Every structure is written in structure tokens, then in C-alpha cells.
Structure 1
Amino acid sequence: MAIHKPEFSMKLIPLLRAAIVVVFLLTSLSSHAAVTHWRVVKGPFYLQSADNAPDTSTTNWGIYGVVETDLPGDAASVVITGGNISGSIPYGFEDGEWNLDAVYPSKAALDAVFPSDASYSIILSGGTLGSVTQDITYAADAYPNTPYLTGADYSDCLALEALEPFEINWNNAGTTTTVSLEIYTGAQLDEGDTVFEIYSNNYTSVAMPWNLFVANSNYNGFIDFANADLQSGAGGFGIDGDVSFNTSLAFHIDTVNSAVDYDDFGGGTNS
């Protein structure tokens, strides 16, 4: 997938389906359930284009769902119904998992199809597992705070000394919220190789390792605030999952040549 514009999709950030570490661990422990992992996420994406605030003009709203089974042949179709959906909306199959991935230009447009305070059903069918229905309920809106880099960190990230220690700081996510930070290689807002990731309930900063980045290179950072509600899998997929309200931020990191200080070796500074 390559998305080179602000209208990036929910699947852009795989941490959206792994941010709730407890849920991930619960689902990964079972190898005999009809489904090994599932969740649904809705919420906005923001870019950051200035210090100490997100760029609200680049906001998109989306919904993302994932259903993973033991084997690719366990299901031939996955759809979601309920809310204000007309009929059903299919999940696509990619890289061994079923994904729902839809982006809307506004909260109103998202809620017109996927409202909060509503019930839905995820229906798996056509494979060796037969037909399995998982009912879920989204409560009233409970979005976390909007994430953004604080202080001058946004500007600093655009000319980062690759070989110097660096701390990334962001605002408070709010209560009952899990914070995720991931950094990928690449100049565009798409998925590259992960070079750093952290999940926490209350972090507002992290010290980056001094040798994490390569000089004259491009990276993208993603901060995700998630407020998840555990959903029982009893009578459905047979394994618990969650529905979540998320707010997410993307920001660029561009590194420059670092000046190496040789004073400790009897020399001067070389760049």
C-alpha cells in the first residue's frame, strides 16, 4: 500500500489493531478459537504542520476492522452489518487477514454510516468454520484527546541530528486511554520498516536511542490514543476482542548529518 496524500487510511497505522496490549495477548494465546484476533476502531487522523498543535485542516475520519483466523480457508467472507449500514459492508482479505478500511471526510460522514451508541454484527461465513456472527456494541462517543507534539518538537523533528539523543514529547491522552508511538522508515505516509515502537497507559514522552536514526534519511512518526471497550466473544467468535475510539497523529522526521565531537579523543569536532 502506498498513500501519498493527507487522506491516508486507517490501515496506515497497524498499531491501531495492536495498541491494546492486553487484548492482543488474550487473543494470541488461543489457537483453537474460530477467530484468533479481532477488533474495530473508529476515529480521526491528524497531521502536524506546526509546533504545539495538530493541523486540523487535514483531519480525516475512518473506521478500521480486522479479523484473523487460524488458516486462510477458515472463512470465505467477512461482512459487517448494523448501525446505519445499508445491507452489509464486506471486509477485504489481504496478507492473511480480513480488513475493513474506510475513510470519510468528516465525523458527520462517518457517523452517517457507523454511528456511535449503536449495535453491529460481524459475520464470518463460507469457510471451514461455517457461519459465525459476532455482535458488538459501540457506546456513546468517548474519543481521547487529540494528540500532538508539544513544545518545539515538531520543528526539531524536521532537522534531527541523527547521532544525538532525542526526546519526543506529546500532550496528555486523558484517562482510560492507551498511548502508542511507532516510527517507520520512508518519506511518505505509508508503511515502511518499523524502527521504534512503544505502548503505554500514561507516557507523555520517550527518550529515543542515540543510534536509532540514519543521517540524511526520512521517517514518519505516528502517535495513537486509544479508548477501547472489551467485547465478549462468548456466543460469537469464541474469543474476546474490542471496539475502540481512537485519535491518531502523523508527523515527519527528517535527519541531518550529525557533528561528531572528538574532544574526548583529543581532537575537535568533525562533521
Structure 2
Amino acid sequence: MTDHWDNYHRHWQLLDAPLRPPPETVGIVKRELDLDEADVLLLGVTPELAGLGRTMLAVDGSAAMVSGVWPGDDACRRAMTGNWLSLSIGNASLDAVIGDGCLTVVDSARSRRALLSEIARVLKPQGQVAIRVFAGPETFDDLRSIEAQALAGEVGNFHALKWRIAMACTTNDCDRAIEVQAIRDAFDKNFPDRRALAANTGWSMASINTIDVYAGSETIYCFATLAMLIDEASGCFGDVRVVPSGSYPLAERCPLLVLGSPRRR
């Protein structure tokens, strides 16, 4: 099996929204959270978010992602490898926690709750959180309908297609989980001719071939519904809001969870 994140960082520059937050989304995070004088924890090394806050510590589980994606340490910000579910950070020590898709790249509802609890632990009482989520629909999409929409030019870009396929194939339980290899398998079954897909959509083969980073990977993603995510967040935070994150492809499934009033456990 391949190391998913060791391969993933090599394709970073080929990714686009919804997989990466556009400037519009970064601006909404800045609007929702007062970060100018904040000590911020970034879950992951999303470079678009690296400039926020007075100080920033970014934590990622993959050394390859840190070395390949993080824009570099300076006097105010640094990145390190670590486990999001067991952060080496003191209780009530941070003003804000931000993240992009971090509730999708943990492997179960139990892990999502553990992560939310850990975020609440490290936040100051008045601290706030903004996490862009990838929320699966309440009713599963039909793969044939997704295929028809893509070939008709009705899907914004390849990465939106990839996420729609993933969301359509998750488990029908509280985890809403899927092995990333299964995302690639479903794509190959429904779109066996990649050049025809490129010709119909205008998408580059380089963009389409980013699906191959999932080959041989044992990594699991979760695409919980928004209702599930709100319920899970409400167990750790007294204030839970949903804020639209922009107007890019599939943005309607990628809102910000803005959280406050952390609850200690």
C-alpha cells in the first residue's frame, strides 16, 4: 500500500476549489473570526490560511505535507507534525483554531467527536473556531446522474466531481466513511474513458489524473451530513453556526462551521 499523504502533496498545485479554499473563503474566515491579535492553531498546513493570526502553529500528521506544502516558518508562524487527537498544546491556551476539511480526513464519527473535544480543550473560554467542512447530502446522489451531469458540462470542475462521487459512495451510517481507493474505483467504473471526459468538459488530463493519488491507499475519508456535523459540534461547543464559504464549485456542500463557547470535558 502507498502512503497517501506522501503522494498527495506532490499533486497540490493541481488541486482547486473545493479541495483548496479560494481567496473568497479566506476572506470569510477573516470576517467571521477576529484574528489580527490571535494566537491561532491551524489543523493541517493549508497555505492559503497560513498568513492568518498574530501567531500561528500548524499541525499536520504528515511530514511530507509539512515539507511539501507549508510556505515556511518565520518568527510568527511554524509548522510541526503531530496527532490532532492528542495535541501537545496546553489547556485553554489558544485564541482560535482553524482548519480546511479536517473533519473529513479523520476516519469515523468517533474520531470527529474526539477532534472536536480536543479543539475545545486547547481553546480559551472566549476562543473561536472556523472549519470548512465537506458535508455529504442527506439523500445519496445517483452515480448515473452524476455521470450524466458531468458529461453535460454541469459539474464545475474535476475536483467537484471527485467529491460528489465520494459523497455518493460513503457508508450509510454515522461515519459516512469511504476508503479513498473506492473513490478511484467508482470513478474508473463510471468514467472508463478519461480522454472522453476531458474532451466533453474541457478539464485537463493532469487534473483528472489526480484521482490516481488514491490508488493503493488505505486512507479513509468521512463525508458526514451537515446535520451530523452540527450535532457532533454541539456536544463540545455552546455556539454553533453555519456560514456559507463562497460561490466556487460545490460550495453549497462546503460551508464553514463557526464554533464558540467551548465546553470542557
TM-score (norm 1): 0.31
Structure 1 or 2, whichever has the larger Rg, is 1
More helix by share: 2
**Structure with the higher strand share, 1 or 2:** 1
